[in-house]
Structure 1
Amino acid sequence: MTTNEQIAQMKKPAVVSAEEWQNAWQEMLVKEKEFTRSRDALAAARRRMPWFAVEKEYVFEGPQGKVSLLDLFDGQRQLVLYRAFYDSNVYGWPEHACVGCSMGADQVSNLLHLHARDTSLVYASRGSQENIATLKQRMGWDAIPWFTITDDFDKDFGVDEWHGHNVFFRDEHDKIFRTYWVNSRGDEAMGNVWSYLDVTPLGRQELWEDSPEGYPQTEPYKWWRWHDAYGKEDAKWSNVVDNATVLLNL
């Protein structure tokens, strides 16, 4: 925590009138909108990256036993797999996983919103399932599917020495492709629905997005639900969105 002495020594910005502050905010808003459009363009570029076919078979250990990479999709079309460091040579073992990985796990949002966009999120570590189950319960991470790496998956996908998110796609023949990956400071932004969807090949799947021809897209906002209401039609919510469209600035 900062001390009063540290705060007193800070070179603080100018204090201005309400009108001057509003003008400064409007100038900043222009820059922020430019950043948002740039971020959208970057996500559009990701959706056009080439894919790498995953031919090798990988085996993970889960709560119910051995599973394949395909199993980790859990029926979804897309998979975001985060390599979290939790094993005997990691600081904090066995009570804690890696400090940074743990901060990331604390940020993970309700996975049902990702499932609604055909996307699965899982964590994978070298730790045993027994230890992982204890860790998840103690840290409040029960909702995150967390598997044990048993082979060279981490080495093959660049996450044997450092954390990272690998993104995979399952086609109509259940063939798996690696489509993207992000690590280091890129991982700092992960944790919410939008950050995950923006690194997937299908994106947010909304009509305003710049996606290749034929990609699935629906009207923005209308697919949103309370997390316990997915799979149910909600005409009233659609009507709210229709009436508020003029106010929703994409």
Structure 2
Amino acid sequence: MSTTDRALPPVVDAASWQKELDALRVREKAATRELDAIAAQRRRLPMVEMPDYVLEGEDGPVRLVDLFGDHSQLIVYSHMWHEGAAWQCSGCTGFTSQFTRLLGLEKFDARFVIVTQGPLDEALAYRRTVGNEMTWYSTAGSPFGSDIGAPPNAGFAVNVFLRDGDRVYRTWHTDGRGTEQLSHLFALVDVLPYGRQEVWQDSPEGWPQQPTYSRWATSEEIAAAYGEGGQDPSGSAS
């Protein structure tokens, strides 16, 4: 008998399982080819030249072109920031916590950084609290965040830039669920039998399903696991 009260996939013999897997593989391969075609179209996008923005970094003001470091390509994640909130967006906090080893990206002549509308001192304090290892910059004194789709007290965004000498060009942008392709978490969760277990997903009858976001790690949980002992940026216990 089953040791769980949850619904389970049907049990079949190995040949039947392989037949079903082969049928699914046809669709998976078609999706892979479509993603290849989308990436090819993305590489053919035009670009727009950006002004010479100045942001705030740990070592003081920094020009947009200097965010590239020694690389010609740059990915910028705009982290949501709500003024006065001890814990910032858990989705942004969880997404960016996944990126701790970026050498592989740098081998492709690219850098990946975070920008936020929060004041720099608060942003860096939050970074330490949640144990984030990426490089953060503040756009609080610049229109840069608003100009790339992440105004104050609003949403998140991903933007990609290309540098040609001292000139910087915006080449791609996404937000919302468009960021999922950059996350390894959902790629892993989506191959699990129960998937994300969220109510909006098409799942078999009896599959565990809960409200959207309810299984996402909270900012407090991320801080407790990776940061400075689960303390909020003000130093109070969570």
**TM-score after normalising by structure 1:** 0.67
Is 1:129 the counterpart of 2:120? The answer is yes
1:26 to 19, 22, 28: 22
Mapped partners of 1:129, 1:26: distance in 2: 52
Is 1:51 the counterpart of 2:47? The answer is yes
AA partner of residue 114 (structure 1): L
Over residues 227-246 of structure 1, what are the superposed CA-to-partner deviations in whole Å (9 max), with x where a residue is unaligned? xxxxxxxxxxxxxxxxxxxx
Q: Which residue number corresponds to residue 113 of structure 1? A: 104
Aligned length: 179
Is 1:35 the counterpart of 2:25? The answer is no
Tell me the secondary structure at the aligned position of residue 12 of structure 2.
coil
Q: Which residue number corresponds to residue 70 of structure 2? A: 75
Q: Say if 1:104 and 1:188, in contact at 8 Å, map to a contact too.
A: no
Q: Say if 2:75 and 2:111, in contact at 8 Å, map to a contact too.
A: yes
Mapped partners of 2:180, 2:94: distance in 1: 9
Mapped partners of 1:13, 1:60: distance in 2: 52
TM superposition shift of 1:128: 2.3
What is the Cα-based RMSD across aligned positions, in Å?
A: 1.8
TM superposition shift of 1:75: 1.7
AA partner of residue 136 (structure 2): W
Is 1:145 the counterpart of 2:145? The answer is no
Q: Say if 2:117 and 2:145, in contact at 8 Å, map to a contact too.
A: no
Q: Say if 1:87 and 1:127, in contact at 8 Å, map to a contact too.
A: yes
Unpaired runs of 5+ residues, structure 2, are: 188-238
Mapped partners of 2:149, 2:125: distance in 1: 27
Identity of aligned residues (%): 32
TM superposition shift of 1:49: 0.6
Q: Which residue number corresponds to residue 10 of structure 2? A: 14
Q: Say if 2:78 and 2:150, in contact at 8 Å, map to a contact too.
A: yes
Is 1:157 the counterpart of 2:148? The answer is yes
Q: Say if 1:168 and 1:176, in contact at 8 Å, map to a contact too.
A: yes
1:187 to 169, 173, 179: 179
TM superposition shift of 1:13: 4.1
Over residues 77-115 of structure 1, what are the superposed CA-to-partner deviations in whole Å (9 max), with x where a residue is unaligned? 1011111013415xxx23x22111011112224111111
